[in-house]
Amino acid sequence: MASNDPKAVHARIGALAAALPQVEEKVSHGSPCWRVADKRMFAYFWHNHHSDDRTAVLVKTSGIEEQEMLIDLDPDIYFKPPYLGPSGWVGIRLDQPDTDWETVEHRLRESWRLAAPAKLAAMMAF
């Protein structure tokens, strides 16, 4: 699915996030985001944020090293987002004709795991 329709892409990201335990969608700084256990954010949906002409989801990584590795692996898909990038978050472009939704789902799950309380994360086997 190429993301010519940001509403459809937002809905798809929302469905993937909602399939994870104890997740709720909120709006933070004008962007839809998802948090786990009513506490920590694990994903943000961005569309044309500050006129950057991108549709993307931002997710947590294990740190700067993983973020840099992903960006080096595929700089057309992954990018260092403003604000959250210095904390190791990575942006995943969803506006490409060949979006790999399995990878997007995997990155969302990993981000959820990193943000979830330890007891909750330990109960999930991904």
Instruction: Please give the single-letter amino acid code of residue 43.
Output: A
30-88: per-residue pLDDT in tens? 899 999 998 899 999 999 888 888 999 999 999 999 999 999 999 999 999 999 999 99
Give the whole-angstrom CA distance, residue 95 versus residue 45: 12
* pLDDT at position 51: 84
What pTM does this model have? Answer: 0.92
Give the whole-angstrom CA distance, residue 45 versus residue 71: 18
Token couple for 63: 């740190």
Instruction: Please give the single-letter amino acid code of residue 47.
Output: H
Count CB atoms within 10 A of the CB of residue 40: 14
* pLDDT at position 53: 85
CATH 3.30.1780.10 fits 6-117, yes or no: no
